[in-house]
Each structure stands twice: as C-alpha cells, then as structure tokens.
Chains A and B, each alone.
Chain A
Amino acid sequence: MKCFSRYLPYIFRPPNTILSSSCHTEANVLPSGLLPSGQNKLGPWCSPTGSPAPLSCETGCGEGSWILVCRLLVPTQVSLLSMEEDIDTRKINNSFLRDHSYATEADIISTVEFNHTGELLATGDKGGRVVIFQREQESKNQIHRRGEYNVYSTFQSHEPEFDYLKSLEIEEKINKIRWLPQQNAAYFLLSTNDKTVKLWKVSERDKRPEGYNLKDEEGRLRDPATITTLRVPVLRPMDLMVEATPRRVFANAHTYHINSISVNSDYETYMSADDLRINLWNFEITNQSFNIVDIKPANMEELTEVITAAEFHPHHCNTFVYSSSKGTIRLCDMRASALCDRHTKFFEEPEDPSNRSFFSEIISSISDVKFSHSGRYIMTRDYLTVKVWDLNMENRPIETYQVHDYLRSKLCSLYENDCIFDKFECVWNGSDSVIMTGSYNNFFRMFDRNTKRDVTLEASRENSKPRAILKPRKVCVGGKRRKDEISVDSLDFSKKILHTAWHPSENIIAVAATNNLYIFQDKVN
C-alpha cells in the first residue's frame, strides 16, 4: 500500500522540492541486499529495517537486578560552579559536573529521551536548557566503565519570552524532546516549550581549515595587494568540539500549551499537540502547519475535555493516537479526512461503579500515551494505574497495573495539594515485555508483562552507591510495618519521578528525580 504522506509536500512544498519516488512502505518489498541506487542504506523514506538488537538480557525485570551506573547532574551556570570548588566533588563520571545541594528550580529536569541507538541521552530542564549525554565507548581496559554516560553537549534551547499581545510570560521549560533517526554524521532533535518547537542539529567538529589566502591566522582580512602566491587551505585536526545549531524554528502555531511532539515514521513530518489542537508539520517548512485535530468548542463555555498527549504510530505514517483528560484515547487515520475530528477508534474503559468518587474523572485523566515498539499496543498512564490496550479492542484494556493504589484513600488530600494533577510518564522496554513508570518518594515501578511480576525501586542519593544493587522497596498499606517497608504517611510527595526513559535495545534506564539524572543498568550486562 502506498504511503499517503508523500502527498503532503504537495500541499506546502517550495517549488524546487524533489519528491522521492519511493516510500518506506515500498522499501520493504525490495529483496534484502538490493538497494535502490543513489540512496543511502537508510534512505530518507525508509524506516530502519530489521528489529531492534536482541536484548542483552532477556530476563525482564523480575529476575535481574538493577545497579546504579551513574548519577548525573545537569551542569549549572559557571558562577555556581566556581562557588562550589570546596564542596565534595564526587566525580562519578569524569565530567565537569559537581555535586552540590544548591539545586535551583531551573535545573529541574522536565524531559528525558534516548536516541534511536541509545548512544545519546537528552534531557531538558525548566531553565530551557538541553543537555546531551553520550555513552562511554567500550574499551578493554575499562570494561567496568561501559554503560556510563558523559556530557556530550549543552545548549540553551529556549529562552523565556514575553507575549506582548496578551501580556503573558512564556515559560522556557522544555516540555518534550524527540530525536530524529540518524541519517548522517550529525544528530537532530526536536525540543519544545509551551509555544515553540525547534529543530536542533548537533554535530562534531574535529578538523579546522588552515591556510586561507584572504585571511591571516587570526582571521583578520589581508590586503589583496599583498598576496603574491596562492595556496590551498588544508584541514588540520583540532580538539573535538560539539556544536548545536538551531536549524528550524516552528513558532506561532499554538494558542494553548504544547504537551507533546511526535516524529512520524516517514521522518519528513512531525506533529505537535496542545490542549485543544494538533498540528502537522513538515520539517522543511516553518511558516505553515496543517491542523489535523481541533477539539475547541465553538463556545468555550462548553469545554469539558482537553488533549493530554499524542503520538504517531511507529510504522504507519497515517496513524496516530491522542489521549484526553477524560481518560479516553482516540486513534485517527489521516487518510480518512484532512481534519481528523472523527476518530477511527475510540478506547475507553467503563467506569468501575464501586470506585466512583468526586475524583473519578481527575484520576482517569491520561497523562501519557505510548505506542509499543511493535505498534500493536498502546500504553496509557493515569493517576493510579498503567494500562495496556490492544489496538484491536476498544472497550477495555488488556492489562491494568496498579502503580500506587494505596493513594486511593488519600485522594482528597492529594487534590488539596494539587498532587492529583501530577503528570507521570510511562515507557516500554525495547522488547515491549516490561513497562516502567514513576511514583512518589523517588520511587519508580517496573511491571513485567510476561511473568506479571513487578518491582518498586528508589532513585535516591542516600541509598545508592555506584554499582550498588538496588534494593526493592515496599510500601506498607496498613497494619504492621515490616523493617524495610515505608508507610504511606511517610511518603514524600515532593519527590516525584515524572520522567523516565528506557534504552531502545538494552536494559539501561534513565530516571529523572528533580535535578538528578540516574542511570541504572541490569546487573547481567
């Protein structure tokens, strides 16, 4: 079947666009080993062929143990760094990060994302910065250092802005980062705040040209009259420099706050979703976007539902899902109509009458939706549970996992202190056999879908030494509390794990706890 996305450029292409004659859906038809001439192995239309590399450890979460690889702090401003020379500098990973307790609000990590190979890990924070970590290369001498991540690049992605028309301050907090698959030596990622999406190119420079004719070594222009001979500049090696440049800025398309971005499997388009609308963009065109979902009522007084998350299908470039504050998921097919206001599938679980309360709607509000790598399932996170849905069954999820059901009796207090509105994310592992999500008290939970076993782990400084094995945690609900258990009332609700990420092919996870980034690895690795 032809992929329709090839026609999108007709809508808003510049006159000199060259349209590829092939498409990623056609690429699968080619016999292996035969590639169309003139194209890279992974051409612009082709999604990566083959399945993800087999997991280095197939035992899932129950049997394996998790160890802390490193704890990273996003680099603070230079002034703070110089102030803390005397503070204990536990250099876990040989980088210039310092251990400090002066966590500013700007350092709070707001998003974490591995790239498609897992070599890079990007974080965004409330201060609008993006920090990219790179995996330590394997080396025979330092085998134990494999799996560690070091700072690769830091840049200021978004600055605070002021909307003069509405007298509103636009936060620079990075809401989401999404990587593009690598097509050449450079890395590309999308980062977004509430209003503006930016495409960043991160590239290395390790050579520099020397021997210009018109400029001298310091860069000053020479008087052409003094030049008597010509020479060819040569490239000489230099210290590795990683530079990030903004290649596209997609602005002024969202009235409301952007909550999601998702790169399409055609790698030519992506979508951005705010509370009421979803827009489709072409990477090459920044001054136009295509509105594909609009749930804004004609009369704002009738507003009862907002969009909370959206994602493209990993393989079908015409399909995407979006979730709502009422606990529903809609799957849309862009081939059906230009404006996808009528869904193709509607996923909703009927309310359990025995659990009804005033807070039923709030706790059913979906905070994150993720397709499985296979594309057959979607996972949703609401306040108390994680649910796995089969795309072919709309009336109820196939699996429901309780994240912290002991909070069900505390909903009123959590409503009062606004914790009930916290938006937790959820992630799949590379083989879709384990799912992970965060909780309070710096706890995070993993559920093995095959063995039905689950584990609660903690990301904290006190309990983790490098390479120490994480001890499973347990929350005591009532009655007698055992030695290692924590009672519900002792939970620290200010320590919440909202953002986690799982390496695409290995059992390496990244967990963000305020301004700390923890990297854990399966012990078997």
Chain B
Amino acid sequence: MLSKGLKRKREEEEEKESLAVDALWLDPGHAAVAQAPPTAASSSLFDLSVIKLHHSLQQSEPDLRHLVLVVNTLRRIQASMAPAAALPPVPSPPAAPSMADNLLASSDAALSASMASLLEDLSHIEGLSQAPQPLADEGPPGRSIGGVAPSLGALDLLGPATGCLLDDGLEGLFEDIDTSMYDNELWAPASEGLKPGPEDGPGKEEAPELDEAELDYLMDVLVGTQALERPPGPGR
C-alpha cells in the first residue's frame, strides 16, 4: 500500500500560504482571477504543485491521472506567471512541454531527469537567461551538466524504486531552491541582465557575471554538498 502521507518540512508555511491564498480566492472580486493572479499566490501554488509533482514521481508507479492533472495545473500557473516575470518569450512555449517532457518521459525514468527539468523550469521562472537551457538540452538531461554526470549517473543506476535513498538529498535540494528563489538578488537585476544595455557599465559587467553566477549556482545545487561551502551572495 503506497502511503500518501509523507511528512513534509515547512508544513506550517505551506498552510499559511494556502490559507492566504484561500482568502484571496474567497474574495468574489477574484472570481475571474486567472487573468491577474497575485504573484505571491501563484508562486506558492507553483511551489505546492512542484512538491506534489515530485512526490508523485517519487512513487514507484505514479498515478498517471494525478500526475497529468498536476502537470497541467503547473503549466497553467507557469503560463500565468510568465508575463509577470518578464521571461524572454522564446523559451516560454518550449519550456512548458519540456518540463513535462522530462517529467513524463517515462514513469520509470531516473529521478535525475525530473530533477534537472524541475531546476530548468525554476530557472525560467527566476528570469534567468537562456544560458542554462542549451546546457540542459544537450543530450539526455541527466548527463547534460558535465561536472555532475557522475552523481547523476549514480542516481540513474539506483533507479526509481530506491526513493528512500534520495530522500534526504532531495529535501536538501528543495531547501536550497526555495530559499535562493526568494533570497536571490538576481530577481532585481533580471530586467537589467536581459537588456543589452551597452552603455551601462555595471549592467554590462553583470550580464556575463550573471551567467557565470547562475551556472555556478546550478552546479552547486546539483552537486549538492558543495553548495553549502559556497554561500550564494551578490559579490562573487
């Protein structure tokens, strides 16, 4: 019997967020809210959906209906958040299928595929440029980032049935992702980083630095333990 009740960290935070969202939904003025949802509400819904998706994939034989519904809901949220986050339009359409791509590649695909795609998807939401995307697109996602190939390969070998071994690592992963999503100051200069801004000195310097920083960040997160040694910060 597969249990659904996996205890999650940050449960109280989730409750608070969902209560807040409930209050928003209850407001009759928000009936047609799909058009202009508050960003905070959608991003917490997004987080929730990502967690659900992850939990669903963690099961050895995920419930396909549950999976498909959650993925489709994620797509909707992502689509509504896309204009707010000023994403470059090009990756946006392929982003949605590519997220589901790797997630649904097969139920028994290695978790590495889902992790890489989750991260890829999150990087889109954060408004990061396309630098990570070509990397992710090269060949099978599990092997795209060279330095991390060994560890992901190990995950491949472990297979889907050994979710318990990956629990801690993945929990840690989510911790990293979540905090950096809100703390990461790359949010602010996102518009700067995307603009070509040749005359803007700091902007110019930051643009390549942005790429490098985000690459570093991704590498850190994927490798896992190494991320703790390098604190994420503005002055790299």
Show the binding face of A for B, using Cβ within 8 Å. Answer: 105, 126, 166-169, 171, 256-257, 275-276, 300-306, 308, 325, 353-362, 365, 409-413, 415-416, 418, 421
Additional 19 contacts, C-beta under 8 A, given A365-B69, A409-B22, A410-B22: A167-B60, A168-B61, A171-B2, A275-B64, A300-B105, A300-B106, A301-B100, A302-B97, A304-B71, A304-B72, A304-B100, A306-B65, A325-B69, A357-B33, A358-B76, A411-B25, A412-B22, A415-B45, A416-B18
A171 and B1 within 8 A (CB): yes
Our count of residue pairs bridging A and B at CB distance below 8 angstroms stands at: 102
B31 and A413 within 8 A (CB): no
Q: Which residues of B sit under 8 angstroms from A257, Cβ to Cβ?
A: 61, 63-64
Within residues 40 to 90 of chain B, which ones have a CB less than 8 A from any CB in chain A?
42, 45, 48, 52, 60-61, 63-66, 68-69, 71-73, 76-77, 80
Point out the residue from B18, B64, B66, B100 that lies within 8 Å of A256, measured CB to CB: B64
How far, in angstroms, from A305 to B100 measured CA to CA in the complex?
Answer: 13
Q: Which residues of B sit under 8 angstroms from A359, Cβ to Cβ?
A: 73
Known pairs A358-B73, A361-B73, A365-B69; A415 contacts B48 (CB<8 A): yes
Within 8 Å of chain A (Cβ to Cβ): is B161? yes
Q: Which residues of A sit under 8 angstroms from B91, Cβ to Cβ?
A: none
B18 and A413 within 8 A (CB): yes
Point out the residue from B32, B66, B104 that lies within 8 Å of A354, measured CB to CB: B32
Q: Which of A171, A305, A306 has the most CB of B within 10 A?
A: A306
Point out the residue from A168, A353, A413 that lies within 8 Å of B60, measured CB to CB: A168
Point out the residue from B1, B4, B73, B104 that lies within 8 Å of A418, measured CB to CB: B4
How far, in angstroms, from A409 to B80 measured CA to CA in the complex?
Answer: 20
How far, in angstroms, from A421 to B80 measured CA to CA in the complex?
Answer: 23
How far, in angstroms, from A326 to B65 measured CA to CA in the complex?
Answer: 10
A105 to chain B, nearest CB (A): 7
B25 and A412 within 8 A (CB): yes
B48 and A358 within 8 A (CB): no
Point out the residue from A300, A365, A412 that lies within 8 Å of B21, measured CB to CB: A412
B34 and A167 within 8 A (CB): no
Binary flags per residue of B185-223, CB closer than 8 Å to A gives 1, else 0: 000000000000000000000000000000000000000
B22 and A413 within 8 A (CB): yes
How far, in angstroms, from A309 to B130 measured CA to CA in the complex?
Answer: 42
How far, in angstroms, from A275 to B72 measured CA to CA in the complex?
Answer: 16
A409 and B26 within 8 A (CB): yes
B1 and A361 within 8 A (CB): no
How far, in angstroms, from A409 to B19 measured CA to CA in the complex?
Answer: 11
A305 and B68 within 8 A (CB): yes
Within 8 Å of chain A (Cβ to Cβ): is B101? yes
How far, in angstroms, from A235 to B22 measured CA to CA in the complex?
Answer: 71
A4 to chain B, nearest CB (A): 32
B72's nearest neighbour on chain A, judged by CB, is: A361
Q: Which residues of A sit under 8 angstroms from B77, Cβ to Cβ?
A: 358
B104 to chain A, nearest CB (A): 5
How far, in angstroms, from A356 to B32 measured CA to CA in the complex?
Answer: 6
A421 and B22 within 8 A (CB): no
6 contacts between A and B (CB under 8 A): A257-B64, A301-B102, A301-B105, A308-B65, A411-B25, A412-B25
How far, in angstroms, from A130 to B66 measured CA to CA in the complex?
Answer: 27
Q: Which residues of A sit under 8 angstroms from B37, Cβ to Cβ?
A: 358
Q: Which residues of A sit under 8 angstroms from B68, Cβ to Cβ?
A: 303-306, 325
B33 and A105 within 8 A (CB): no
Ranked nearest first, the 9 interchain pairs of A and B with the lowest CB-CB distance are A301-B101, A275-B64, A167-B161, A356-B34, A412-B21, A409-B26, A168-B61, A306-B65, A416-B18
